[in-house]
Amino acid sequence: MHTSQPKWFLLIASLPTAGATARMRLWRGIKGLGCVALRDGAYLLIERQGHVDALTDLAAQTNRDGGQAWVVDVMPRSVDDRKAFEALFDRSSEYAEMHAGLTLARKALPSQTPAEITKTLKRFRKERDAILRIDFFPNQASLDAEAAWADFEEAANAFLSPGEPQAQERPIPQLSRTDYQGRTWATRRNLWVDRVASAWLIRRFIDSDAKFLWLDSPALCPPDALGFDFDEAAFTHVDDKVTFEVLLASFNIEMTLGMEKLAALVHALDVGGLIPPEAAGFEAILTGARARLNNDDALLAEIGTVLDSLYTHYNKERTS
């Protein structure tokens, strides 16, 4: 049975020796795409969505910069040649470097402030995403690095948000909002993404007269309070849903475009996943507010305004 082989492209480029800016622009382009240099001026790349267009743009830019560039199709003539091509794209060294950095960074976590931990998380997430984007042939090194990243992210989040709940496996009951009015809701103090967003959701869409208790420990939750976002709480992580998403499902809150995007943002920042463009800005605002306010009622009021604005902005996207 015939099996189609992937296409390969070769960018052949030369630039005037004096063109330092043009050389840097070309170098950044081929590095960002994950090309492999066969020799100076010859860069190999496998076919992926957008690759041929990006290479064509690089060639055109090189020509505009006074150089000469072409994009040509290449094909390995044998299985051994194909394997040799693939071996050129082995990212084991990059993964090993990241793995070593994660090991050192994890040891440093106990001595770091929340802001420093957040900065380290963002730096390694950016580094990991950059390698994954150009890792066309994942191997054991990528699996090992991914496991190291997951361990580091879990450890960092444990320092940022002690007592993070473990997901439960159970059905999510359908509840009536009319039965949950004027109640006392309780969660761990020093609010972070899921807790502050859940508190906003409760007061905005479930119980407008909600009163909140910020607990030093989940064990201190009064029996008549509705706990959220800690182990054994009335509302907490279930299966792959974070507390914010469990509240949405429990009370059948309308999933407008704005709510869908807020849920995706909270999920990604709390447990990982596809990071929305606004996530970095929201995380920075929340980090700064936590450092500045030192009061969860004030934090909820301030971040609640940000969530109101995001919700309104997201809902307008469909009509714009």
Fold of 8-87: Alpha-Beta Plaits (3.30.70)
Q: pLDDT tens, 61-117?
A: 999 999 999 999 999 999 999 999 999 999 999 999 999 999 999 999 989 887 888
Question: Taken in order 221, 225, 227, 232, is the CA torsion positive or negative?
Answer: positive
The larger pLDDT score, comparing residue 18 to residue 73, is at: 73
- Helix H, strand E, coil C: the string for 147-168 is HHHHHHHHHHHHHHCCCCCCCE
User: CA-CA distance, 201 to 259, in Å (whole number)?
Assistant: 10
Q: How much is the pLDDT for 2?
A: 43
Q: pLDDT tens, 276-317?
A: 889 889 988 998 898 888 899 999 999 999 999 999 999 987
Please state the domain extents for the chain: 8-87, 92-160, 177-317
User: CA-CA distance, 127 to 129, in Å (whole number)?
Assistant: 6
The pTM (predicted TM-score) of the whole model is 0.58
Tokens 């106990």 correspond to 110
